[in-house]
Chain A
Amino acid sequence: MELYARYGGAVYGLALRVLGQSGHAEEVTQDVFLKLWEQPDRWDPALGRFSSWLLTLTRNAAIDRLRYEQRRGYHSAVAPVDDSPGEAGAQATPFSDALWYDGQVLRRLLARLPAEQRQLIELAFFGGYTHSELAAMLHLPLGTVKTRLRAGLQKLRALWREEG
């Protein structure tokens, strides 16, 4: 339970961000930690930072759950950008300060993007949608989706660089 005490808030927060529904986010959180417990050797240092690997695992599990719920007819939106620092009392910095800082900066910078670019980045990253899926979902020409998503990411990267 040490890992849960340290990373539980981050895993649950990310699952909630993807699913927008606390019950589903709870279940994903539980599944992620149970898998971690059942297969403690799954993480290999060659895969990168443990926290990034754990959050990638969480994101993938949450997106799988989102797709499952959508097939059942239940819909939940990818939540809008929240530029607050996170829930008081939650594990504020379970990771190295630099990683946590980068995440907070990006959350703030995302909110500075034009709404149509931010929406595409959020749906692609937190919803797991590809170019063609986004185009079909939003009734936009494929070229428009590609252009907006690329422009949004380029702008986000430029803003991120400015922040140093």
Chain B
Amino acid sequence: MNAEGMSEQPGKEDRRLDAAAARSARELLPAHALGATDAEEQEQVRALLASGDAAAAAELAEYAALCEALLYSAPTARAPEQVGVRLRAALGPQAGARPASWGERLRAWFGAGSARLAWGVAGAAAALLLVTNLLWAARLAGERAARAALAAELGGQTEAVALLMDEETEAMPLPPMEEGSPAQAMVYWNPARDMAMLYAEQFPPLPADRVYQLWLIRGDERMDGGYFTVDEAGEGVLLVHLPMPLKEFDALGVTPEPMGGSPGPTSPPVVRGTL
């Protein structure tokens, strides 16, 4: 969503656009509100708004409202318990309370009537802290970035390891559909978890603009299970968020699709397995 969409106003300067440019820019308004315009297109929209086109501004505002409502269209979901646990641990014992500002803390120390003195002390302390903090900030920033990258790297792996180590986890093979093909995949899933892991082996390499897409099949319905690429050895891994227990599907299949995935399968499956 384009944050500017809700606040853009026609500029004071009345810059006229020719009719074709105005029409072209007006056609971009819906996508601009959604945040889908490229840099050059954004300039066209800004020029249109700066020309004082009130109808365009009103139309953009309407699409911005629609895009704001789209934020609320994702189904709410109960976050796993560990998110709350980690947050409580990160926030420490004051997790239930808003952190006091320095002004509030100093007023508490010196009493409400001495706020001016408190702010004076705070100013001196802030100056001292600023010098010290600048030295530490440079060192900590590097370390923090490294830790964040490591945590992100480990996040997906932790989930996969937890799934694989769970004794309740079941494995389902997806055999090749083409006779003689070495491609095969295994899906690991656990009835107690809302995720599964697909491990692909010896899949044919794909051009850079193609991916493999997993389909969760139920009757005539093909639900998108996510997409993945394979390395030079034809191996790939996909962690799948399951919209419902896996046993409620009839079959799983994997097809080559354009980068970004397709709304429905467009190629014959490489592997397919029936549940």
Contact = CB atoms under 8 A, between A and B. Distances in A.
A120 B90 CA distance: 38
A4 B36 contact: no
A137 B260 contact: yes
Contacts of A26: 79-80, 82-83, 155
B38 A131 contact: yes
Contact of B79 (A8, A37, A136): A8
A45 interface: no
A11 B261 CA distance: 25
A109 to B, nearest CB: 9
A107 B78 CA distance: 18
Contact of A124 (B35, B71, B84): B35
A70 B239 CA distance: 14
Contacts of A154: 30
A106 B70 contact: yes
Q: Taking chain B's interface residues, is the majority helix, strand, or loop, or is none over half, making it mixed?
A: mixed
A56 B31 contact: no
Interface residues of B, number: 71
Contact of A125 (B70, B96, B158, B263): B70
B72 A95 contact: yes
Interface in B40-93: 41, 62-63, 66-80, 82-84, 86-88, 90-91
Nearest to B260: A137
Contact of B226 (A20, A95, A138): A20
Contacts of B258: 137-139
A56 B1 contact: yes
B76 A87 contact: yes
Interface of A: 1-2, 4, 8-14, 16-17, 20-27, 29-30, 33-34, 37, 40, 48, 51-52, 55-56, 59, 65, 68-69, 73-77, 79-80, 82, 84-87, 89-92, 94-95, 99-100, 102-107, 110, 115-116, 118-119, 121, 123-132, 134, 136-139, 146, 149-150, 153-154, 156-157, 160
A-B pairs with lowest CB-CB distance, top 8: A103-B72, A153-B30, A12-B79, A17-B74, A86-B75, A137-B260, A102-B69, A124-B36
7 contacts: A1-B96, A20-B226, A22-B194, A55-B71, A99-B72, A107-B74, A138-B260
